[in-house]
């Protein structure tokens, strides 16, 4: 699979707008004052109340959606198990975990009192939040049926491509890639990976852009699912916390490194039937 490196600073749907001003409050530069006082607050507060609130993808997609993410259940299972592991390792055995389901922008849960937010991002450059190191990787990919003859972005010139409109910034990523390559193509959208695949199968587009994990899960049951041609942008599975929670960020990173090194993250992914790629 050929990688297509792009200079992207897009924050995908899992990130949305700036977070950190909820009940726990975004700490301003003036009010942060002592770094040591602020650093311990997130860990200490959660330990004191015996509860860690985690913003996570919804338990199930909205019933109104005709086409969903075929890997939604696998992603949620992975994130829920990783969250439970991190709470045990970073906060200690006392606090219990409360999972709060959220829509596309789970980081906004930090505004509403969550201590952690499980996110999938293209870029970790964002004001108002801190990100852990990645614990899994995926990609936004270009995929096409072999008969379409699409082997590169150049093969999309003058053609129609469908982007998944509700996940991970696929449309923006595709349009950026086409613009950088000076390629004129028609971009349409569909709801979910399943919807995009059906558009391609109906002959309304020669290729699609979507999440590699969704495509991998869908292909387990549909061997004719369009195959990955190239990667457009890497995706990182990370945990976000409020700005000013540097001690918590360090504790999460320490726990993640240990769980990656001894294979616990890979085992979690296997149990979740998640097509895992190590960071």
Note the pLDDT of residue 132. Answer: 97
User: Mean of the pLDDT values across residues 59-67?
Assistant: 62
Reading the block at residue 117, the tokens are 């937010």
Task: Please enumerate in sequence order all residues whose Cβ is within 8 A of that of 154, keeping only pairs 6 or more positions apart, or say none.
Answer: 181, 183
Most confident of 17-31, 52-66, 73-87: 73-87
Reading the block at residue 23, the tokens are 């009940």
Return d(Cα 179, Cα 183) in angstroms, integer: 6
Note the pLDDT of residue 39. Answer: 40
Q: Name which residue leads in pLDDT, 128 or 188.
A: 188
Q: What digits encode the pLDDT tens for the residues 210-252?
A: 999 999 999 998 888 999 999 999 999 999 999 989 999 999 9
| pLDDT over 90 at 144, yes or no | yes
User: Mean of the pLDDT values across residues 194-215?
Assistant: 94
Q: What digits encode the pLDDT tens for the residues 72-104?
A: 999 999 999 999 999 999 998 889 999 998 877
pTM: 0.81
Tallying the residues shown for the chain, one arrives at: 279
For residue 209, the cross-strand partners are: 142, 163
């Amino acid at each position: 699979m050929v990688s297509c490196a792009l200079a992207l600073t897009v924050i995908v749907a899992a990130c949305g707008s700036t977070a950190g001003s909820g009940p726990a409050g975004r700490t301003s530069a003036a009010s942060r004052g002592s770094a040591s006082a602020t650093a311990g607050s997130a860990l200490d507060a959660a330990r004191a109340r015996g509860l860690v609130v985690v913003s996570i993808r919804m338990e199930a997609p909205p019933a109104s959606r005709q086409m969903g993410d075929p890997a939604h259940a696998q992603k949620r299972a992975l994130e829920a198990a990783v969250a439970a592991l991190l709470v045990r390792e970073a906060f200690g055995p006392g606090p219990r975990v409360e999972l709060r389901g959220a829509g596309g922008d789970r980081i906004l849960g930090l505004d509403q009192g969550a201590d952690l937010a499980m996110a999938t991002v293209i870029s970790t450059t964002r004001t108002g939040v801190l990100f852990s190191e990645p614990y899994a990787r995926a990609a936004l990919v270009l995929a096409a049926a072999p008969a379409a003859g699409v082997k590169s972005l150049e093969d999309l010139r003058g053609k129609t491509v469908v982007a998944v409109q509700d996940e991970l910034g696929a449309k923006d990523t595709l349009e950026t890639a086409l613009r950088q390559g000076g390629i004129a193509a028609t971009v349409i959208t569909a709801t979910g990976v399943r919807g995009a695949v059906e558009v391609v199968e109906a002959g309304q587009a020669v290729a699609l852009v979507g999440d590699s994990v969704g495509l991998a899960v869908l292909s387990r049951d549909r061997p004719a699912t369009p195959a990955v041609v190239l990667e457009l942008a890497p995706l990182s599975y990370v945990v976000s916390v409020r700005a000013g929670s540097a001690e918590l960020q360090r504790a999460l990173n320490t726990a993640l490194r240990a769980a990656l090194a001894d294979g616990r993250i890979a085992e979690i992914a296997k149990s979740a039937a998640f097509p895992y790629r190590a960071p």
